[in-house]
Chain A
């Protein structure tokens, strides 16, 4: 046990959801007779859920600031429809249509952010209004008829990376290259951190846990590289999955490493205290809502790409899927807690449940019931843990200060 802790770096509880996800995948793989862990099913999992996970990234930030956004589904549907319409009726090239659609998303976000931050209307009300406005808008501009999207967009919603290079590898070389570089980067970052932490703290961590970590991490990346790379010829790690990975890296960095990210957590944890310590609460609210609708537009585009057409009821109920992912990922209803990576795990739990139950032939009715129970259980588990001596909000927020005091920014040390 001690050795395991040393490898994973203490706090095994943090891994609960990851372990639950792994267990789900294994159980479904057994009950479905090996149909869960296949190249094509994992490709489907990513292509089919990327849009919800993209929404969940933005929704996490909204929930962390203590608000909620009910309009994301409608905004996604609206911007997707605008894109299809300008491409068909105004003959815009596909990339221009995409830009118009993203601009619509930003404008929608600015609209919601304005009501929330400048006029102080609660986010729930603001976005409930937005939900109706944009849903009505989609139906209005589309005249309730689905509109085919430019065919190039299919690549974003359901496409694969190109095949190239030697054939002896037996897999998609784009995927293979991604995997190799990911493993190399993992090793490099781990080793660098090891030496750096030794220099900073003076205590020397033994080298073997680092080696085991690189071995384990590399093994997992290698396995998934193999899984995604050896599907039907012409398939690879799916493009929507790649878009998602890039977004996750960007938003993980924003929320964990930048001043704006710290402001989001500060405002969500204690708005007045944040305001008193010089955080611009209004600006934080505004930007978070703006960002949410921007991501909603992007999700709408990815979905339209996958569907090959924009429909009048696109986006119905997506906000609830995104919210569920965030809470299963351990965010707090009161705000201030939650991370992008845990949200992704939460979203994948939902996605794997969906896919596994469908493979077993369980109907949509019972799937809903099961997902409801999972949501309740996940949140209840989290609440129970917190009530029994988990770390405080500040402790969860700034745990690195204990290890690397010299790296902390002035704002960070204030909160300790």
Chain B
């Protein structure tokens, strides 16, 4: 109890200090009402300062064995696990010291990881965000410390602390998914009209609405002319979204759609934003006693590659992780040599500034082209037997 007392005294002392500080606030600043505005100005000043130092640094680069931080959202899907391993091997092969960490899909954990990378003296931090808009202050902190922040696979929004984003064009990906669904329906389900349902990805991921938008740009004209019928009527992204990209939530939604709207109808096709959700949709359809619908996908996960090969899942879109990681490491090398960021393919406004985007082309995979698509990928080629 005595310790508590002692500590309490200490705390009381601090309170007095605080009170005193607030009291003399008027004295140290000409206009008291600027107290709240001051930090904002300070950060702004810091940012410009940081940008200057960065420009200077860009000209000089940094030492070859520098530390590079990579913060990934989680390791719960295959593409992230692959990214985890590839970043380690490719960065170390390029002579860097790599810190690769994953955040268990929790925003606060990712914030702390990025801070610990700043502590560890990283020169570049690559961030695959859990939620692209919730890292604002830590990324600005990184930028203020002269670190270059590169977004990986997902856009970093609502912050001035980001220099560029490497990703597969997400609208393009969506268009490919929509087109693959249309092609599959024509090929496997005979003449229209076709009954379809739509699924979106995790709403916290800024790519998810873009996938959906891209796909709808292909599908909407066909819905309007009656070739496609969305039986449930749920065509809004917020209605179709799958929180956290969680497969079980998608399966539960598919279950209720099937029992609610397809008691006496056949479902022909489903737009799925990724492979895990695609398999959840297929499983739900099988359990409901439906013939397997044409389903799109994304990521070319091993299990889905097998399912495509055996004809259960119609298509997926491959976004080869090694290409994405390779492009990122290429940018890091260019920074290290002092050449700065390479010229981006396009610019996107993230709410605070224009961010350079390095877009890579994705690839549709169906049973017909699977062998060619994975010709350079022995792991996946093995599955096609």
Bound-complex Cα distance A180 to B318 (A)? 61
Given A14-B1, A157-B137, A363-B101: A252 in contact with B46 (beta carbons within 8 A): no
Are A317 and B158 interface neighbours, CB within 8 A?
A: no
Bound-complex Cα distance A190 to B6 (A)? 9
Bound-complex Cα distance A363 to B18 (A)? 38
- Hey, what's the 0/1 contact readout for A355-393 against B, CB within 8 Å counting as 1? 100110101100010000000000000000000000000
| Interface residue tally on B, bucketed by range | 35 or more
A311 adjacent to chain B (CB < 8 Å): yes
A278 adjacent to chain B (CB < 8 Å): no
Bound-complex Cα distance A163 to B6 (A)? 30
**B141 / chain A contacts, CB cutoff of 8 Å:** 158
Bound-complex Cα distance A306 to B4 (A)? 31
Task: Find residues 99-126 in chain B having any chain A CB closer than 8 Å to their own CB.
Answer: 99, 101-104, 106-109, 111-113, 115-116, 118-120
Given A41-B119, A307-B111, A342-B4: A182 in contact with B14 (beta carbons within 8 A): yes
Bound-complex Cα distance A165 to B27 (A)? 10
B66 adjacent to chain A (CB < 8 Å): no
Task: Find residues 1-30 in chain B having any chain A CB closer than 8 Å to their own CB.
Answer: 1-18, 20-21, 28-29
Return B76 CB to nearest CB of chain A, in Å.
Answer: 11
Task: Find residues 264-294 in chain B having any chain A CB closer than 8 Å to their own CB.
Answer: none
**A253 / chain B contacts, CB cutoff of 8 Å:** 8
- How many interface contacts (CB-CB < 8 Å) are there between A and B? 219
Are B10 and A44 interface neighbours, CB within 8 A?
A: no
Are A311 and B21 interface neighbours, CB within 8 A?
A: no
**B235 / chain A contacts, CB cutoff of 8 Å:** none
Are B17 and A14 interface neighbours, CB within 8 A?
A: no
- Hey, what's the 0/1 contact readout for A162-191 against B, CB within 8 Å counting as 1? 111100000000100111111111100110
- Chain B interface mostly: helix
Are B204 and A252 interface neighbours, CB within 8 A?
A: no
**A193 / chain B contacts, CB cutoff of 8 Å:** 9
Bound-complex Cα distance A248 to B8 (A)? 9
Are A364 and B109 interface neighbours, CB within 8 A?
A: yes
**B1 / chain A contacts, CB cutoff of 8 Å:** 11, 14, 396, 399-400
Interface residues contributed by chain A, number (CB under 8 Å): 86
Bound-complex Cα distance A320 to B8 (A)? 26
Are B112 and A246 interface neighbours, CB within 8 A?
A: no
Return A140 CB to nearest CB of chain B, in Å.
Answer: 10
Task: Find residues 264-278 in chain A having any chain B CB closer than 8 Å to their own CB.
Answer: none
B176 adjacent to chain A (CB < 8 Å): no
**B204 / chain A contacts, CB cutoff of 8 Å:** 144-146, 311-313
B186 adjacent to chain A (CB < 8 Å): no
Interface segment, one of A61-69, A103-111, A113-121, A148-156? A148-156
**B138 / chain A contacts, CB cutoff of 8 Å:** 158, 306
Interface segment, one of B221-229, B236-244, B254-262, B369-377? B236-244
**B20 / chain A contacts, CB cutoff of 8 Å:** 177, 181
Given A182-B14, A309-B134, A364-B104: A339 in contact with B116 (beta carbons within 8 A): no
Which A-chain residue is minimally distant from B13 (CB atoms)? A185
Task: Find residues 144-179 in chain B having any chain A CB closer than 8 Å to their own CB.
Answer: 144-145, 157-159
**B301 / chain A contacts, CB cutoff of 8 Å:** none
Are A361 and B10 interface neighbours, CB within 8 A?
A: no
Pick the contact of A249 from B11, B28, B115 — CB < 8 Å?
Answer: B11
Pick the contact of B12 from A14, A15, A178, A185 — CB < 8 Å?
Answer: A185
Are B6 and A213 interface neighbours, CB within 8 A?
A: yes
Interface segment, one of B37-45, B51-59, B320-328, B341-349? B37-45
Bound-complex Cα distance A181 to B10 (A)? 10
Pick the contact of B241 from A144, A151, A161, A234 — CB < 8 Å?
Answer: A144
Which B-chain residue is minimally distant from A192 (CB atoms)? B9
Bound-complex Cα distance A246 to B109 (A)? 25
Are A355 and B15 interface neighbours, CB within 8 A?
A: no
A125 adjacent to chain B (CB < 8 Å): no
Return B132 CB to nearest CB of chain A, in Å.
Answer: 8
A354 adjacent to chain B (CB < 8 Å): yes
B35 adjacent to chain A (CB < 8 Å): yes
Return B136 CB to nearest CB of chain A, in Å.
Answer: 3
Pick the contact of A256 from B3, B4, B13, B159 — CB < 8 Å?
Answer: B4
Are A181 and B101 interface neighbours, CB within 8 A?
A: no
**B136 / chain A contacts, CB cutoff of 8 Å:** 154, 307-309
Task: Find residues 302-347 in chain A having any chain B CB closer than 8 Å to their own CB.
Answer: 303, 305-309, 311-314, 316-317, 339, 341-342
Are B103 and A249 interface neighbours, CB within 8 A?
A: no
A212 adjacent to chain B (CB < 8 Å): no
Are B21 and A358 interface neighbours, CB within 8 A?
A: no
**B133 / chain A contacts, CB cutoff of 8 Å:** 146, 148, 308-309, 311
**A256 / chain B contacts, CB cutoff of 8 Å:** 4, 8
B196 adjacent to chain A (CB < 8 Å): no
Bound-complex Cα distance A158 to B116 (A)? 16
Are B244 and A313 interface neighbours, CB within 8 A?
A: yes
**A359 / chain B contacts, CB cutoff of 8 Å:** 116, 119-120
Are B115 and A242 interface neighbours, CB within 8 A?
A: no
Bound-complex Cα distance A35 to B116 (A)? 9
Are A185 and B16 interface neighbours, CB within 8 A?
A: yes
**A152 / chain B contacts, CB cutoff of 8 Å:** 36, 40
Return A218 CB to nearest CB of chain B, in Å.
Answer: 10
Which B-chain residue is minimally distant from A216 (CB atoms)? B6
Pick the contact of B14 from A145, A178, A303 — CB < 8 Å?
Answer: A178
Are B106 and A10 interface neighbours, CB within 8 A?
A: no
**A213 / chain B contacts, CB cutoff of 8 Å:** 6
Bound-complex Cα distance A35 to B17 (A)? 29
Bound-complex Cα distance A358 to B16 (A)? 35
Are B102 and A183 interface neighbours, CB within 8 A?
A: no
**A160 / chain B contacts, CB cutoff of 8 Å:** 39, 42
A40 adjacent to chain B (CB < 8 Å): yes
B95 adjacent to chain A (CB < 8 Å): no
A8 adjacent to chain B (CB < 8 Å): yes
B203 adjacent to chain A (CB < 8 Å): yes
Are A178 and B17 interface neighbours, CB within 8 A?
A: yes
Given A359-B119, A364-B104: A189 in contact with B12 (beta carbons within 8 A): yes
Bound-complex Cα distance A355 to B108 (A)? 12
Bound-complex Cα distance A229 to B243 (A)? 42
Return B368 CB to nearest CB of chain A, in Å.
Answer: 36
Can you offer 30 A-B residue contacts whose CB atoms are under 8 A? A9-B3, A41-B116, A48-B115, A51-B108, A143-B203, A144-B241, A146-B131, A146-B133, A146-B134, A155-B36, A162-B38, A163-B42, A177-B21, A182-B10, A182-B13, A186-B10, A217-B10, A245-B18, A249-B12, A249-B14, A306-B137, A308-B137, A308-B158, A309-B157, A311-B131, A312-B204, A354-B112, A364-B103, A368-B104, A400-B5
| 4 closest cross-chain pairs (CB), A and B | A308-B136, A185-B13, A181-B17, A9-B2
20 further contact pairs, Cβ within 8 A, besides A146-B133, A163-B42, A341-B4 = A41-B115, A44-B112, A48-B115, A152-B36, A160-B42, A181-B21, A186-B10, A234-B43, A234-B45, A245-B18, A246-B18, A308-B134, A308-B158, A309-B134, A311-B204, A314-B107, A317-B106, A339-B4, A359-B116, A368-B104
